[in-house]
Amino acid sequence: MWLLCFLLVLCFAVVCSAAECSLELPPSCLQSSSLPTVQSCWILEIKDKKLFYGVHAPSEIFQKYQRLLKNSDSGLQNYHTEENVTITTRSYFGEKVALYFAWLGWYTRILFPAAVLGLLVFLYGIFHFDSSQVSKEICEANTTIMCPLCDQKCPFWQLSDTCTYAKVTHLFDNEGTILFAVLMALWATVFLELWKRKRAEVVSGWELYGWDEDEEELALQLINNPEHTLKLYQHSYIRSTILLLLVLLMITVLIGLAHALVIYRVVATVVFTQSDFEFIRERASTMAVMTGAVLHYITIIIMTKVNRRVALFLCELEKPRTFSERENIFTVKIFTFQFFTYFSSLIYIAFFLGRINGRPGNYVRVAGKWRLEECHPSGCITDLFIQMAIIMTLKQTLSNFVEYLTPLRFRKSLPNPKDKDMVHMEKGPEDSCKEQWLKNYQLNEVNVFSLFDEFLEMMIQYSFTTIFVAAFPLAPLMAFINNLFEIRLDAIKMVQLQRRIVPRKANDIGIWLQVLEAIGILAVIGNGLVIAITSDFIPMQVYKYTYSPCMLQNRTDINCLTGYINNSLSVFRVQDFEWQMKYRDYRNSDDYNYSVQFWHVFAARLAFLILFEHVALCIKLIAAWYVPDVPQSVKNKHLQKKHENLRGVPRKIDRSTDV
């Protein structure tokens, strides 16, 4: 007990330290060669405080900028006049990068309770590892002969052969999964509402609470060109129709790739069943799913580059009016493409695998030759679990290594100061700055996508953490552990390995907030479908309260799920053998049509799905209403400021009308 308390306290301390990195870079990063010599180059050498993020601006341009935006520079002054200056993310990289770290730190902190809940669900399955009635019946089914899983070289097999898999499935498909899925829907809403409050507090301290991005862009355009012509809003139905058709075409291509992965798993299953190695032959279905997951990850890497080019082309075709509008349009398109790239295969496994493959004697075949793959013998949710576990593991390990090592590998070598061919540089403050600037120039280049890529990576992770979390309760824990390293790696990469990102003002994470809200709604739908369709929870409940000995025989001395496995199997008659083969389905043994119990289960699945989604969405709406987006202290602060400003207007008018 004490050890558990200690671990919880330790994890909380780690989260807090991670969250602190959201507004201040670690000291080790600040001592990097990519930063200017702060005391001599930035603060002490430049006496004029009229700076654009440390870049000296002429007084007339700064005054024009200040007047156009009606923005006080007091907040900027405070950062450079304090003693023992601490360089924060905002003061060096600008508000946009600072808000990214603030959001990432807050997201990591809120992931901690979700990770604990997922771990508890998993531990619940471990504690009941040997006590599940369903697992016991599978392990004792030595006389239940199942249909072959393929047409060639696939033997008949006993249901008891899947005993271990059935027990493992119970680790994440148990009674606690339903409650966990509902709580994760609530968690996603609370996370967004708390972030809105946190964001309001942060930008209010930066004096950017009422900042307008459109007004900022107009001001900068007028500064650069006083004769700037205003670009008005335009809309073309023809262009919108063309864009919609092109987007649908791209989505169709991505779904087609998911079908290609299905065909690969079908062919791979046949190949593995003909292998000379007994280990591979006996686990042909599992090997096909695992190799398919790796191939899916390779497809993701390739299509990520293709999706970016297509999204850029469509963005240019749409002709956005401003840079911010262009950024929002591009974000929506690239996230849509990436979502289908990552989740098309998972959607097939979760909701179609094993349900469109037919039955013995009338299987659905690819090109009239290969049978469509079936679910894992222990259940369809096992395939989804394996797929998600492999993709998340590869994404959060291999991708992070590549992301960090790539700029390190291609980092330009710095000139040797002892080289005779180099011009001798004096050690004065100005030359020291030039030497430091030269070192900064040697770092890897950055572009407008540098910060965008970090946000996109976290949005995909957030999708994995919420949408199919009912099939993979450990997803929040994996995301939490990954983010503890992600914050530090991003800081090191931005400060030590790359040139400085061009600072940009912002008072929110922009269109990404709407993306998070959309993911929250998809999470409710996705988890409801996983529990209703993929999991065996509904069939077990239908059997327990309709067909079990407890209901038909009024028995109370046995487990009500006794006999469930045999009840969930259908019989296929084989004339050449004395025994009967069985397969997972609800069909009559005489005509192989769907039985009455199938329609009972189907109705129960549909009713649960509707009930789950309505309850979860109501909980989300209540939570969004209960937690205000903006703290009362921030509202009162700006209300008092407005009141003081309005009180001063009549006094100015009175003084101006005095004779």
Alpha carbons 25 and 548: distance in angstroms, whole number? 61
Alpha carbons 14 and 73: distance in angstroms, whole number? 36
Q: Tokens standing for 554?
A: 């009024």
pLDDT at 648: 67
Written in H, E and C, the secondary structure of 327-385 is HHHHHHHHHHHHHHHHHHHHHHHHHCCCCCCEECCEECEECCCEECCCCCCCCHHHHHH
pLDDT at 572: 82
Q: Tokens standing for 274?
A: 């003909």
CB-count exposure of residue 243 (10 Å: 0-12, 13-18, 19+)? middle
Strand partners, 511: none
202 vs 650, which has greater pLDDT? 202
What is the pLDDT averaged over residues 512-538? Answer: 88
Lowest average pLDDT, out of 14-18, 123-127, 317-321, goes to 14-18
Give me the torsion for CA of 93, 97, 99, 103, rounded to 10°.
Answer: -140
Q: In angstroms, what CA-CA distances link 439 with 33, 37, 43, 428, 584?
A: 7, 11, 19, 17, 66
pLDDT at position 647 over 90: no
Q: Is residue 572 part of a domain?
A: no
Alpha carbons 182 and 194: distance in angstroms, whole number? 18
Residue 410: partners with Cβ closer than 8 Å, 6 or more residues away: 444
Note whether 159 and 565 are within 8 A (CB): yes
The percent of residues in the chain predicted with pLDDT above 70, rounded, is 78
Alpha carbons 200 and 132: distance in angstroms, whole number? 49
Tens digits of per-residue pLDDT, 404-429? 776 665 555 545 544 444 444 445 55
578 vs 118, which has greater pLDDT? 118
pLDDT at position 115 over 60: yes
pLDDT at 225: 78
Q: How many CA atoms lie within 13 A of 391 on its CB side?
A: 29
Tell me the pLDDT band of 113, cut-offs 50, 70 and 90.
very high
Q: Is residue 579 part of a domain?
A: no
Note whether 620 and 522 are within 8 A (CB): no
pLDDT at 422: 44
What is the pLDDT averaged over residues 482-489? Answer: 88
pLDDT at 111: 92
What is the pLDDT averaged over residues 32-55? Answer: 39
Tens digits of per-residue pLDDT, 601-636? 999 999 999 998 888 888 888 888 888 888 888 888
pLDDT at 248: 94
Question: If you average pLDDT over every residue of the chain, what do you get?
Answer: 76
- The residue among 300, 299, 298, 274 whose CA lies nearest residue 287 is 274
What is the pLDDT averaged over residues 316-321? Answer: 85
pLDDT at position 312 over 60: yes
Range of the domain at 406: 25-414+430-556+598-628
pLDDT at 63: 55
Number of domains in the chain: 1
Alpha carbons 469 and 76: distance in angstroms, whole number? 44
Lowest average pLDDT, out of 55-69, 155-169, 212-226, goes to 55-69
What is the pLDDT averaged over residues 585-606? Answer: 88
pLDDT at position 96 over 80: yes
Alpha carbons 376 and 353: distance in angstroms, whole number? 10
Q: Is residue 535 part of a domain?
A: yes
- The residue among 191, 49, 175, 110 whose CA lies nearest residue 540 is 175
Q: Is residue 181 part of a domain?
A: yes
Q: Is residue 7 part of a domain?
A: no
pLDDT at position 19 over 60: no
Evaluated on CA atoms 43, 49, 52, 55, the torsion sign reads negative
Tell me the pLDDT band of 46, cut-offs 50, 70 and 90.
very low
Q: Is residue 637 part of a domain?
A: no
Alpha carbons 576 and 350: distance in angstroms, whole number? 36
Lowest average pLDDT, out of 70-74, 265-269, 297-301, 410-414, goes to 70-74
pLDDT at 408: 62
pLDDT at 651: 59
Alpha carbons 533 and 471: distance in angstroms, whole number? 11
Tens digits of per-residue pLDDT, 162-218? 888 788 887 777 778 888 888 888 888 888 888 888 888 888 887 777 777 777 778
Maximal C-alpha separation, the chain = 117
Note whether 13 and 92 are within 8 A (CB): no
Q: Is residue 576 part of a domain?
A: no
Strands 569-572 and 581-584: antiparallel
Tens digits of per-residue pLDDT, 230-242? 778 888 889 889 9
- The residue among 128, 6, 126, 21 whose CA lies nearest residue 483 is 21
pLDDT at 650: 61
Tell me the pLDDT band of 252, cut-offs 50, 70 and 90.
very high
Note whether 581 and 370 are within 8 A (CB): no
Evaluated on CA atoms 332, 342, 516, 531, the torsion sign reads positive
pLDDT at position 386 over 80: yes
Q: Tokens standing for 257?
A: 């790739």
Note whether 333 and 315 are within 8 A (CB): yes
pLDDT at position 72 over 50: no
pLDDT at position 586 over 60: yes
72 vs 478, which has greater pLDDT? 478
Alpha carbons 534 and 376: distance in angstroms, whole number? 12
pLDDT at position 537 over 80: yes
Note whether 36 and 436 are within 8 A (CB): yes
pLDDT at 577: 55
Q: Is residue 329 part of a domain?
A: yes
Residue 24: partners with Cβ closer than 8 Å, 6 or more residues away: 86, 88, 89
Give 499's DSSP letter: P
